[in-house]
Structure 1
């Protein structure tokens, strides 16, 4: 359907010609142990990353252009699972839903260039990360926990930002990069990023196309999972001087994806995006910077049971994946019964408009960032009588974050924000609207020891999260079996302690990040074991704790090893049992070798069994339906830098063709022959080859 998208192919051809232009260096992998910093250009091309990007205890900043293993990601969720603490609820071959420390959905805010792209499917078939192509961006920033107030309300699990940095020119020219990927299961990716400009401004064009067939698991069985998607974006920037930027952006995208764990597939993921931002730095001695941005994002999603599969009758023991889409479909259609053996489709859309402005003030020992933001989004479904609006969300917030540099080795950071959330209900069930005032704040202390390169920190944060669209409108019932979740689901309140440390030596670096949280009125989905289409959103009190740790060690000039470990624990304190959808203990062990133009790496991923579960409980996408077994997966790669401009790499994921499935999973859909509560298996041995060109 999207195999002949001409503009992207033309852009790829332009980049191929551009490879004869002078090369530019890669942007570096990262980082600051204390704060987010823009990446600087390193002296050489980085080796492929096989475990996680280098980390500070609280903030992760990584270069999205760096090649990494497993096979390069097709969406934002696929990329995030390479970072310790992240996992995903697999949909099929693409468009999974990210989970951080066992927390899901709007507890993890995902931003692209300061904007938020919200999906339309009532069962999150088009999660926000499904509209993100990671290689189209430059920098990924993760701030763990409620330890910032700058980027919107309710971010109890963390804040994620995918950003494109303005290209810098000291004379007129062209620069950029391109890549081609071929892999098992008929996968082909094309990516291009081209900037033309001068000191006065630039035009940046980015485009990508990714497609794949169904993959085979370790047993050689085909798993319905094919996809075909594309994105194209343009940015026009005006830089009248080194301290000023005015940028306009626009983008479109679309795609389709087949899902083994759902009763419907996604036959359209149409995206439209517009944005504008202004930045002015070095304004004065005290008022240092002003920045403002506004955006418009539109998602138009179609799901059906005939474009990418043949409609089939549903068995009485319907699987979880079936229930999710059918339950949402019934809710949207007034609860009428549906026969899934007949062709059917649903079209939904969501418009999101927002913006923010922020100023930065500097004194001798203080930095103050203060501003305001807002967002308005509306959700609709299309029926025989045209479009019908069912919900509209408003949020207006003000925030301030103060950093006090108490000494050369210590600083204290604190922040507060206040939001007003209003939701209008057009479904005709429950109240017409509801609103709440949402406070949030944090304070954190960081200190670097004077006699060794060791940084320590401790912080505590509080945030209150308003229920999102999927928690208010997707459940069949509210708490206690009430007729409307919209009326009765409470706001979620999280208080969390974060502690951590980082050591940065000459050959050894290590870090640890730990947390413990109390969540009052945690929003939990419960499912009827006899009729999985019936769900209830409930509020419970919960305890969460866990953390991530890792290290890297330069064994010799050519050999480097690294490792990471992530663990999450969560308890339902009301019912005295585990919270559902918590990933098991996971470790990653990596070994890299580099000599001249050659480099190679190996990755061993070890995941333990998960026996802590809450059967028939979960979230709007998945539920706990059984214990999971542990597994070990080994992957390897080798790369060759043919010229200063061209790098070739090949790799094999799951080298030993292990048959396994993740704990966070959907049960396979009976339309594809799966029995109830059969988890969707992961890909078997996958070979791939990639060429990267910079110019």
Structure 2
């Protein structure tokens, strides 16, 4: 590579909840030993056992977070959206490292390459100046990796667990082991999952929904001095024989290798509180194929492999100065994307083409943040992000491929900036007001700039890129309040995004399709503006000491400049949960509801209306002490009424799993 500088919980766990403030009130941080849902500086604590949660999939954890909705194409690797924003509109990173999926059909979002057993927390920011790294228009997700701990209470510690789900005969095993001394520690964790075809409600089998995967995480820490450490992390995730029933092709393999080395300095008695520098490299290899589909579904057999390589670094410093908490970060990375297709027509020669013709993107960025404490009641948090982005095609074959679509230079250079201001006012011990105003921008993605006949299953069109796209920008505002007393906590929040030069696909006349059966060809274009608005409501109540009630609710509404409903905007969704936790036991009952979504633009964006639904889940668990070790047993029944349902963002309105009994055992030592 040529490189110039080259909630969480809200999920099926009966032992809940610890929320802790880490940032300001409009950012959220969900950890796997605690749930960090920042509510205007308030703190809520309850200890619980985390081993059950580690056996969940990352997808299940994410879809319980308010404002997060998942795009489903099968039973594996759902794609997160934030308030209806997705793909290049949001950033997803692992431990601050930039990664980019290798699949042109978005079968491999970054969240598919990390498991709960790898992670310490999930950080979420809805605003352009949120918890993500680098510029965006809609915030982002960062998956912080678990790291080895020096000086632990036990020299050797770990856990082992196994689970079985009746639907799809799904099995999973997890393990973790740590060796810890005063100056050195090393840890390893692993997951193996396997599932067959799942069954939707009323006994309907969903063919081509099987998957297999394994995941391995390694972390080593060495203390040079008490306040200086070297850290090395490695993450490998490999899936194979993965079915995607909502798409025309499956996946033979999806592999990721992610490595990094960090130096961390945490001085004492100084205004500088921490300084972390990291270098990293990741390689993603992905291959679509249709060899397991019946012949009548495959008019022409084809292979579609793709790769993504990213090398980068960042250096971040945090320090206090009187009433300021400052943070500065420098980032640089370079990413290369390659995707191709080989078709094998009967009685004819093979046909080869590049669908993502060797795109390289190099980014340099500076992030500046300041949290200003104005007495005990007011907090202001200004921020600024500046990115320099250079995009080009790094092979002659790639340039020749795009010469049939474009003339002139294919190189792109953009200077992008985000700026924001968060404010928080503590009125008294129970009431807090918070709000934010920010300006965000993003460069068009590699697919939007250089795509060469990429098929979109949702609207049945082939897509081509547009090298002349302008930056998409947004002005984002939100306003909320928090009320908290001993047993009741409630937080409503409203938001609005006004976009300029919004990027969408529009039909291109006079172009022939590449995909057999496609409805036509679309090209990415800028429309003058678009609007997105909505809100979230999060509430908890403890009527008695061992009882806990929780409700999370969210809605988004989007429209373009012509009044057409934007695609992939989730309707109103509500998750309501009641828990009872006597002694070492835990019981819960949960309902998940989504309203009908008939605000769609079928003619313009190819989206269909969807029906509403309500499903019910129940679960129970217990901890057993075995000497100094702990055995956790948990059972849950999902969709207990075996309802046929799908969520609005599910491609082709594919039914989700029906009734499912899940059993999990884990031993912590």
TM-score class normalised by the smaller sequence: 0.7 to 0.9
Q: CA offset at residue 369 of structure 1?
A: 1.0
- Tell me what 1:327 maps to: none
1:457 touches 1:500 (CA, 8 Å); kept in 2? yes
State the Cα distance separating 1:475 from its structure 2 match: 6.2
Q: Which deviates further from its counterpart, 536-545 or 258-267?
A: 536-545
For 2:55 and 2:521, how far apart are their aligned partners in 1? 37
Report what 1:444 is aligned to. Answer: 422
5 Å-filtered alignment, 1:192-341, equals 192-224=175-207, 225-256=209-240, 257-282=242-267, 285-306=270-291, 308-313=292-297, 340-341=298-299
CA contact (8 A) 1:147 1:459 kept: no
Match of 2:657 in 1: 683
Count of matched residue positions in the alignment of Structure 1 and Structure 2 = 612
- CA displacement at 1:447 relative to structure 2: 1.5
**Is the counterpart of residue 511 in structure 1 residue 491 in structure 2?**
yes
Quote the offset at 1:363 in angstroms: 1.2
Aligned-residue offset at 1:420: 0.5
Q: Does 1:495 align with 2:497?
A: no
Which whole-Å deviations, capped at 9, do the CAs of 1:441-472 have from their partners, x for residues lacking one? 1011112123x322211111111101112222
Among 551, 554, 560, the residue aligned to 1:566: 554
Q: Do structure 1's residue 347 and structure 2's residue 305 form an aligned pair?
A: yes
Q: Secondary structure at the match of 1:138?
A: strand
The equivalences for 1:344-493 within 5 A come to 344-381=302-339, 390-425=358-393, 426-428=398-400, 429=402, 430=406, 431-450=409-428, 452-474=429-451, 476=453, 485-493=465-473
Over residues 371-392 of structure 1, what are the superposed CA-to-partner deviations in whole Å (9 max), with x where a residue is unaligned? Answer: 2101100012357899996200
CA distance in 1, matches of 2:568, 2:28: 33
CA RMSD of aligned residues (A): 3.1
Instruction: Describe how 1:101-112 pairs up with structure 2 within 5 A.
Output: 101-112=83-94
Q: Helix, strand or coil: the match of 2:203?
A: coil
For 2:123 and 2:52, locate their aligned partners in 1 and report how far apart those are by CA, in whole Å. 17
CA separation in 2, counterparts of 1:454 and 1:433? 52
Alignment of 1:638-649 (within 5 A): 638-643=620-625, 645-649=630-634
CA shift, 1:408, in A, is 1.6
Distance in 1, Cα, partners of 2:202 & 2:19 = 39
SS of the residue 1:408 aligns to: coil
Contact kept, 8 Å, 2:534 with 2:555, in 1: the verdict is: yes
TM-score by length of 1: 0.82
Instruction: Specify whether residues 38 and 461 from structure 1 end up closer, same or farther in structure 2 by C-alpha distance, changes over 3 A only.
Output: closer
Higher RCO structure, 1 or 2 (CA under 8 Å, sep 6+): 1
Gaps of 5+ in 2: 1-14, 343-351, 455-460
Q: Deviations over 1:342-381 (max 9, x none)?
A: 4321211110111110222311111211121011000123
Cα distance in 1, alignment partners of residues 48 and 413 from structure 2: 38
Per-residue deviation, 1:627: 0.9
Is residue 59–residue 141 contact of structure 1 (8 Å, CA) maintained in 2? no
Alpha-carbon spacing, 1:64–1:434, altered in 2? closer, same or farther (3 Å): farther
| Alignment partners' CA distance in 2, 1:362 and 1:517 | 32
State how far apart, in whole Å, the 2-side matches of 1:151 and 1:463 are: 13
> TM-score, with normalisation over the residues of structure 2?
0.85
Distance 2:425 2:171 in 1: 47
C-alpha distance in structure 2 between counterparts of 1:343 and 1:391, whole Å: 26
Contact 2:631 2:668 in 1 (8 A): yes
Alignment partner, residue 585 of structure 1: 572
Alignment deviations for residues 270-304 of structure 1 (CA, whole Å, 9 cap, x no partner) = 11111011111125523332111111110011110
Deviations 1:108-162 (A, max 9, x none): 2111122122111111121222212123212111122123377212152434333
Q: 1:37 to 1:150 in 2, by over 3 A?
A: closer
The residue aligned with 1:66 is: 50
Note if 1:532 corresponds to 2:519.
yes
| Pairwise CA distance, 1:213 | 0.7
